[in-house]
A = this chain, B = another copy of it.
């Protein structure tokens, strides 16, 4: 058994979107095992246990991930994760990965897969609502699939948006108002908002939206009217209904599970698709255990880490 303290540092990023795409495809084919996330509620946060198995990648294991909103005040990340990988043939735990950065990367790669298949074109203007780690993971991964011709960034804290742009000198990147950021081909929302930020009238026909921020009951970033106009694709229906962008509108009756157009996996295998250039499409991401396993399979191609006695 080996411990990987920093498995994202040597990851072959050129292969990342591909392995995440395969995980989504296998999900759509019904070829993976992925029971729903299990939540444990603590006083100051929660943690989620995410087991899974992808036979085609030969990988099985469990991610354990917390959400403690008060952590930044203690100089700790809000979200931290650990993934345990088991040998399929014997059940021996073979690897433990610090999966905090991997979680950001696999979420970014999921957004890139959605953008690859659902974007209205190959050359896109990108609107970013939120400018944190996940905004970076999205632009990095999307940039490996599409030609990003312009980036408009909004953050509640304008300084953060400026800092974001300074990290991307090669892009035509500028700080924008919320409304202006929505004037784009590809809109990526990555905030922890609990009320809609994006107004229906700001989103024009043909836009694709990666709705990333909502990952727990009560969170939402988009006016539900956008979801009603759009074709909404989810990563996993059960998780999306529970905690994705659609969770609040479903709870209050403005949207329903049968209005979901399909899964990203179905889009990847060609069973579902963008129907016209004028259609608005939404990818509602909650994050899947199989994404964690797929990125772990890539990380484990490097023989690194610290050897630990087991059994």
Contact = CB atoms under 8 A, between A and B. Distances in A.
A259 interface: no
Q: How many copies does the complex hold?
A: 2
A196 interface: no
Contacts of A3: 3, 308
Contacts of A86: 47, 64, 66
Interface stretch (A77-85, A158-166, A249-257): A77-85
A40 B33 contact: yes
A222 B5 CA distance: 48
A311 B40 contact: no
A91 interface: yes
B67 A91 contact: yes
Given A64-B86, A67-B91, A311-B100, A53 B80 contact: no
A38 B52 CA distance: 10
Nearest to A33: B40
A41 to B, nearest CB: 7
A270 interface: no
B68 A47 contact: no
A62 B62 contact: yes
Contact of A49 (B62, B68, B74, B311): B62
A133 interface: no
Given A91-B45, A91-B47, A308-B306, A40 B53 contact: yes
A68 B90 contact: yes
A82 B93 contact: yes
A173 to B, nearest CB: 29
A44 interface: yes
Contact of A309 (B5, B51, B71, B74): B5
Contacts of A66: 86, 90-92
A201 interface: no
A35 interface: yes
Contact of A90 (B41, B71, B96, B311): B71
B49 A49 contact: yes
A191 interface: no
A285 interface: no
Interface string A48-72: 0101110000001010101110010
Interface in A106-153: none
Given A71-B91, A82-B84, 4 more contacts: A40-B53, A49-B62, A71-B90, A80-B310
9 contacts: A33-B41, A35-B40, A40-B52, A40-B60, A44-B89, A49-B51, A68-B90, A82-B84, A98-B311
